Copies of this chain bind each other. A is one copy, B any other.
Amino acid sequence: MVNHSASLDRVYQALADGTRRAIVERLVRGPASVSDLARPFEMSLPGVLQHLQVLIDAGLVASEKTGRVRICRIEPTALRAAEGWVTQQRTGWERSFDRLGDVLEKSGDNDD
């Protein structure tokens, strides 16, 4: 549980940056080389590599060397974990809100 929590820390930390989210948005469309990823950003290759490393450490991205090119791709498990926690909170909140609605409605009926 502690480990799971620590890994969610790293995932959300990695997503808390516009450039890193843009890298994820690009990789969602399919694998890409590091230089393909660097191209749209006005950023040095080391800068992009630093962001990539944060995404790799969080488990959101994997990279593999194919010949002389390093290819990056999405690791869906971490993406699903990030989605899972927040979806659980949103649905939990909606359930609480519905229950509150029911309570108010019943208390309204009693007032009649």
List residues of chain A with CB under 8 Å of any chain B CB. Answer: 5-6, 8-13, 15-18, 21, 24-25, 28-30, 74, 76, 79-80, 82-83, 85-87, 89-90, 92-94, 96-97, 100
Contacts and interface: CB of A to CB of B under 8 A. Distances in A.
A15 B25 CA distance: 20
A51 B83 CA distance: 22
A21 B12 CA distance: 11
SS of A interface (majority): helix
Contacts of A12: 12-13, 15-16
**In the complex this chain forms, how many copies of it are found?**
2
A82 B93 contact: no
A13 B30 CA distance: 26
B30 A96 contact: yes
Nearest to A10: B16
A42 B4 CA distance: 20
Contacts of A85: 15, 21
B30 A8 contact: no
Of A10, A15, A85, most buried by chain B (CB within 10 Å of CB) is A15
